Amino acid sequence: MSSFTSGIGVSSGLDLSSLIEQMLAPDARRRLPLQSRIARLSIARASLQESRSLLLALRTSATALSNPSTIAAHTVSSSDASILTSVAGTGTLVPGFHSLLVRALAGASRIVSSPLESPTTALGAESLTLRFGSGRLV
């Protein structure tokens, strides 16, 4: 009985890898522009999604500011009314118009402590009381 052996295979000496690459090359060339277009469209989509989220945040903020009760719900108070006062007018609020009257500017301050009992005294071992406004350190 005779046997039939094919001349194509690893032992045939043909560079099968090169042949397969040559056969697939036209398909790869057709895919390259499509892959580039997909990448560009993905970038554009991400940019549009980011723009949409920023616009939604802007709309939410603008809606809150257009509601007079949102602005009226906030009050200003001060521990020293001679320095800062707030007056709410009667009637409707004017969106975007705010006024602040400065009656006094901050001045320079300096705090001085008494000397420590000895050079070996640990910091924080003594009592330290700060009184602002009286100009003293006790």
Q: Which tens digit of pLDDT belongs to each residue from 6-60?
A: 555 556 677 778 888 888 888 888 888 889 999 999 999 999 999 999 999 999 9
Mean pLDDT in the chain?
A: 73
Whether the pLDDT of residue 83 is over 80: the answer is: no
Whether the pLDDT of residue 118 is over 50: the answer is: yes
DSSP code of 7? S
- Band (pLDDT 50/70/90 cuts) for residue 61 is confident
Question: Average pLDDT for residues 79-102, to the nearest whole number?
Answer: 64
Question: Average pLDDT for residues 66-76, to the nearest whole number?
Answer: 66
* pLDDT attached to residue 19: 84
111 CB-near residues (< 8 Å, 6+ apart): 130, 137
Q: Render the burial of 31-56: b for 16+ CB within 10 Å, e for the rest.
A: eeeeeeeeeeeeeeeeeeeeeeeeee
**What span, in angstroms and rounded, lies between the C-alpha atoms of 83 and 77?**
11
Q: Render the burial of 87-109: b for 16+ CB within 10 Å, e for the rest.
A: eeeeeeeeeeeeeeeeeeeeeee
DSSP code of 137? E
Q: Residue 59 has which token pair?
A: 């709309």
Q: Residue 23 has which token pair?
A: 């056969």
Give φ, ψ of 5 to 5 degrees: -120, 140
Please name the amino acid found at residue 125. Answer: A
Which of 16-20, 35-39, 79-83, 122-126 is predicted most confidently? Answer: 35-39
